[in-house]
Structure 1
Amino acid sequence: MDRTQALAALSALAHADRLDLLRLLYPAGPEGMAAGEIARSLGLSASRLSFHLSQMEGAGLIGSRRVARNVFYAVDPRGLGGTISYLLNDCCQENPEVIACCTRNRPAAE
């Protein structure tokens, strides 16, 4: 991932609705969720959801597939992973303290 891609992804994530969107879609796995179901779950209008989906897809954080008249959206693990990797490896230079904060069983703050 290059700097421009990382900035697009981080910018896309810097909005409450889009972060909620990512948190909703991730557990749905590769099957994803239909746009209508996403809109209902997040309480967003179709036009507002469409805008946010477009931003996330353009940043490479989610992907879409059409099934009949429905469009399903799912998290793109490579896009999300690339963004996290860019921060950890390129920006933070693999700092062990930063990486330790990212593990599930991180030690309590001193």
Structure 2
Amino acid sequence: MKEESALAAFAALSQETRLRIVRLLIQAGPKGMAAGDIGAAIGATTSRLSFHLAHLEHAGLIQSRREGRFIIYTALYPAFSSLIAFLMQDCCQGHPEICAPAVTAMACACDPTSADKA
């Protein structure tokens, strides 16, 4: 990830409502959430929500798709992986023990192979 993209992502995430939206969409998983459900969950009006969703989409953190009369938003997981990699690329400077707590905190609590077994 280039610094310019990282700055855009951090600027988008630096606002409370947008951070809540992103966390909600990450929890929703790849199926995403309808715009109305996002608004209800965070208590945002339609116009306010549209502004924040557009900002996050412009920053490359979420994407939208139409399903019938609904617009579904999903988190772009590769963008978040790239953002984390950008932050961690110079972390340990030859001392992996420095980064160990951060790497442990990033460990996914789910088994990514379990979806294939269902």
- The TM-score, its normalising length taken from structure 2, stands at 0.80
The question of whether the paired residues in 2 share the 8 Å contact of 1:12 and 1:55 is answered with yes
* Structure 1 spans left out of the alignment, 5+ residues: 106-110
Match of 1:94 in 2: 91
Deviations 1:14-39 (A, max 9, x none): 01111111111111111100000000
* Structure 2 spans left out of the alignment, 5+ residues: 107-118
Match of 1:10 in 2: 10
Deviations 1:13-69 (A, max 9, x none): 101111111111111111100000000000000111111111111111111110111
Match of 2:54 in 1: 54
List structure 1 runs of 4+ shifted beyond 6 angstroms.
Answer: none
Residues matched between the structures, number: 102
Q: CA RMSD in A?
A: 1.5
Match of 1:104 in 2: 105
Deviations 1:59-97 (A, max 9, x none): 1111111011110001100111111111111xxx13232
Q: CA deviation at 1:104?
A: 3.0
Amino-acid identity (%): 42
Match of 1:39 in 2: 39
